[in-house]
């Protein structure tokens, strides 16, 4: 008599348990939508993928970043978010991943505020599911968490005005609403708004620039992207803005400096024409600030 597998009555509970923990298998369309959101807007690689000589080391995609982020309450590196079950998030449930992405809460408590969960709060339920589906489709990479990982103190959420809760699909038909959605996921205003005590001052300095970035290129100060005609981008054409966003080139033809140049070429260059048009239209609604 040939060997047989376990009876279906025994196998079914195991299959149901896996379904409940990990969730149903995503279809190709959902995975591709998640790929677009991660590649073109959310730019997860920027913190969670190591870098090669010229760009990301995609052979180790999502295995953890090499850059250290620090502030008064934390010193961290982007952890492994590949679907490896031991060192990544392969054993995390969908609910745990949702909490990490939009609420900044991991399995061991609150994540450091450098995790831009505030910017991801407007994700529609279907887009959030698509991101999770795409992350689960990635290659599992065994890479233990790199030190340092230190967190302390409390962190108050600072979502963009008008983007503090999930959007619904129907609302994205409106061009300005879609532009706000894209701007939040791409973290445009968290970079281009001056900070107070490490948090963007959206009330008084929305889009006015002033945030400092320290990297291999030195200290870079984010520019003013309000509609002010002289201090901001009010006099820029749509094509000027699109070139800056997707190519990292300023109105005068000068190359922008990191991190904008890196993000524009590696991520925002993949933005769809409709999302890019909506983003530019929304940027023009930002009140002028000097």
What's the pLDDT band for 52 if we cut at 50, 70, 90?
A: confident
Cβ–Cβ < 8 Å for 167, 124 = yes
pLDDT at 238: 98
Q: Apex CA 264: angle with CA 260 and CA 266, to 5°? A: 115
pLDDT value at residue 217: 67
Strand 150-151, strand 74-77: pairing = antiparallel
Segment 81-133, tens digit of pLDDT: 999 999 999 999 999 999 999 999 999 888 998 999 999 999 999 999 999 99
| 16 band by pLDDT with thresholds 50, 70 and 90 | very low
Scored b (16 or more CB within 10 A) or e, 180-199 reads bbbbbbbbbbbbbbbeeeee
Spatial separation of the C-alpha atoms in residues 99 and 107, rounded to whole Å: 9
Across the chain, mean pLDDT equals: 89
Give the contacts of 120 (CB within 8 A, at least 6 positions apart): 42, 101, 102, 128, 184, 185
Q: Which residues contact 98 (CB under 8 A, 6 or more apart)?
A: 128, 132
| Structure confidence at residue 273 (pLDDT) | 98
Q: How far is CA 220 from CA 26, 159, 248, in A?
A: 41, 23, 14
* Least confident range of 15-29, 193-207, 214-228, 250-264: 15-29
pLDDT confidence band for 30 (50 / 70 / 90)? very high
Reduce the secondary structure of 99-140 to three states and give it as a string: HHHHHCEECCEECCCCCCHHHHCCCCHHHHHHHHHHHHHCCC
């Amino acid at each position: 008599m040939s060997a047989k597998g376990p009876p279906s009555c025994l196998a079914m509970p195991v299959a149901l348990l896996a379904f409940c923990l990990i969730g149903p298998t995503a279809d190709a369309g959902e995975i591709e939508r998640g790929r677009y959101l991660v590649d073109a807007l959310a730019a997860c690689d920027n913190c969670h993928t190591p870098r090669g000589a010229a760009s990301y080391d995609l052979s180790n995609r999502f295995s953890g970043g090499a850059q250290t982020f620090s502030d008064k309450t934390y010193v961290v590196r982007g952890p492994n978010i590949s679907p490896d079950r031991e060192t990544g998030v392969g054993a995390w449930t969908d609910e745990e991943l949702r909490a990490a992405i939009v609420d900044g809460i991991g399995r061991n408590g609150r994540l450091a505020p450098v995790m831009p969960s505030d910017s991801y709060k407007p994700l529609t339920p279907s887009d959030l599911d698509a991101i999770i589906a795409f992350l689960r489709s990635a290659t599992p990479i065994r890479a233990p968490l790199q030190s340092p990982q230190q967190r302390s103190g409390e962190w108050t959420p600072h979502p963009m005005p008008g983007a503090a809760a999930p959007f619904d699909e129907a609302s994205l038909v409106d061009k300005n609403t879609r532009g706000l959605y894209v701007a939040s996921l791409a973290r445009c205003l968290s970079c281009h708004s001056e900070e107070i005590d490490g948090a963007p001052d959206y009330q008084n300095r929305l889009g006015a620039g002033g945030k400092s970035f320290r990297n291999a290129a030195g200290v870079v100060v984010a520019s003013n992207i309000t509609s002010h005609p002289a201090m901001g981008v009010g006099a820029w054409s749509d094509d000027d803005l699109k070139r800056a966003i997707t190519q990292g080139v300023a109105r005068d033809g000068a190359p922008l400096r990191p991190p904008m140049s890196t993000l524009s070429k590696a991520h925002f260059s993949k933005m769809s024409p409709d999302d890019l048009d909506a983003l530019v239209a929304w940027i023009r609604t930002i009140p002028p600030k000097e």
